[in-house]
């Protein structure tokens, strides 16, 4: 033992005050660190599996909701042709009676099926041009119309629930 404290340096005094580690204390600290690491890995793995489950549920819901997208796009041409036939018959006046009413009923039935499956027309005329829903084909001078307002619809656009199936092709009023 050292009897004279004045001969020791401050580092030696601090080292002497440190508790001496026993062989039993070191393995416990290692085991505690290993337990903490394993617990962290377990929590991360559980969180990851929960995220994967949620993502798969979301993807499944989207697949169910939008499974008819390709088929719906194909039917849009049919709806367009029925509308063109009705407009041509109205202009011409030669097609009357049962044929005309049959085409009208067919178009109404098709639109009812569209509505049943979440397919809706995009209302365009009188609206501001929305590049996410409309495709401007022409820019025309229009008295009384504000610039950027849709003045005519060249082809109807459709959405499936909240997704765009086909943009509406429109004519837009020009500035000045």
Spatial CB neighbours of 125, under 8 Å, sequence gap ≥ 6 = 150, 151, 152, 153, 170
What is the average pLDDT across 116-125? 92
Q: Are residues 81 and 160 in the same domain?
A: yes
Token pair in block for residue 151? 């003045």
User: Cα(76)–Cα(68) distance, rounded to whole angstroms?
Assistant: 12
Residue range 57-92, pLDDT digits in tens: 999 988 888 888 888 999 999 999 999 988 888 888
Q: Are residues 55 and 77 in the same domain?
A: no
Beta bridge partners of 159: 120, 164
Residue range 26-61, pLDDT digits in tens: 788 899 999 999 999 999 999 999 999 999 999 998
Token pair in block for residue 129? 């041009």
User: Cα(155)–Cα(167) distance, rounded to whole angstroms?
Assistant: 8
Token pair in block for residue 3? 């009897």
* pTM for this model (two decimals): 0.66
Question: What is the total count of domains within the chain?
Answer: 2
Give the residue numbers spanning the domain of 51: 23-64
Percent above pLDDT 90 for the chain:
56
End position of a domain, from candidates 47, 64, 81: 64
């Amino acid at each position: 033992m050292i009897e004279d404290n004045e001969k020791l340096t401050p580092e030696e005094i601090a080292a002497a005050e440190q508790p001496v580690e026993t062989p039993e204390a070191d393995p416990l600290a290692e085991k505690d660190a290993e337990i903490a690491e394993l617990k962290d890995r377990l929590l991360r793995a559980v969180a990851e599996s929960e995220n994967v489950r949620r993502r798969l549920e979301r993807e499944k819901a989207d697949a169910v909701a939008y499974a008819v997208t390709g088929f719906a796009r194909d039917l849009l041409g049919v709806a367009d042709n029925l509308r063109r036939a009705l407009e041509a018959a109205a202009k011409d006046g030669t097609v009357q009676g049962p044929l005309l009413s049959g085409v009208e009923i067919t178009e109404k039935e098709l639109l009812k099926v569209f509505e049943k499956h979440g397919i809706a027309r995009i209302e365009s005329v009188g609206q501001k041009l929305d590049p996410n829903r409309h495709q401007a084909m022409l820019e025309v001078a229009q008295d009384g119309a504000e610039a950027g307002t849709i003045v005519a619809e060249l082809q109807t656009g459709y959405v499936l629930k909240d997704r765009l199936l086909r943009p509406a092709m429109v004519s837009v009023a020009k500035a000045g």
